[in-house]
Structure 1
């Protein structure tokens, strides 16, 4: 197997994760003086299947936050409290405005509905009076005219209704030229 270069047992294998951590710590070593570190948790030791490396201890140095950051946090907290208060005030204003609009809408809707009901009642009474008056005027030979008055001759077609165009044309023909009446 060595002829193919696939010897998997090697003493020189290096854990890539451990190598990466060591390299990053070397690069970041000079930054500790510039930026105050935050308390870091101890890193978990990386165990390789072939080589065990000792865990690198994390610095346990805890420094105080700079005064500028403390002031900023306090100012940010007060700004957030103010914004929360403003938001609650605006939310209450919106609720009040919505209540007023709903009341106005319900009032307008009630007025419109009552007017429509009154108009419908009047037109129904008038239509009933007219129907009763015409019912008394039954004359022989006017049956098809009376039937055609009861029919809707609007040729609008809809997908939900049946096609009644043939019936409509027959009623119109009978209205224009009624069949002779049989006398008994």
Structure 2
């Protein structure tokens, strides 16, 4: 196996560390030759080249003042927005309570109206059944039927039944038994 040139027996040499050391030696002198782009513009103006970091420019006073004013305006707007949110929530809560109140009243009125109309219909039905006279059966049936000739295409044709009931109403059958 030694003929292949693989020296796996040397466990104390790290190939990554060896590569990094070799590259570091080769690139060691390059840092001094490179001039940053920001300092190149300074050298053309006659200023000495500064390879460290360009100086940090301070913000003008007007920009600082604008930032502070902008910050206070934003904080004020945030406070106003929170106020409006709370007002809208209170208003919505009140409107919802009013709607539930009105809806409940409308339902109770409808229930009372339905009960009253049901009582009236029942009284009328009882009164009519008490007045049953022989021979008026078809007339009472005719009252319960809808004789409106309008019909839709989806409903059945009841014109024949309607004509028979009308005919029986006009000339009732007599029982001569």
**So what's the TM-score if we normalise by structure 2?**
0.59
**Structure 2, gaps ≥5 residues long:** 1-35, 39-52
CA-to-aligned-CA distance 1:151-176 (integer Å, 9 cap, x gap): 234556567x6245514444334323
Number of aligned residue pairs: give it: 128
C-alpha change, 1:173 and 1:124, in structure 2 (3 Å) is same
Give the one of 117, 128, 134 matched to 1:140: 134
Q: Kindly name which structure, 1 or 2, has the bigger radius of gyration based on alpha carbons.
A: 2
Within 5 Å, which residues of 2 pair with 1:54-69?
A: 58-59=37-38, 61=54, 62-69=56-63
| Structure 1 residues 120 and 94: alpha-carbon distance in aligned structure 2, compared to 1, 3 A threshold | same
Map of 1:106 onto structure 2: 100
Distance 2:97 2:138 in 1: 53
* TM-score normalized with structure 1 length: 0.57
* 2:74 equivalent in structure 1: 80
RMSD: 2.9
Structure 2 counterpart of 1:162, from 155, 167, 171: 155
Q: Distance in 2 between matches of 1:107 and 1:158?
A: 41
Pairing 1:115–2:113 present: no
Q: Which has the higher helix share?
A: 2
Structure 1, unaligned runs of 5 or more: 1-56
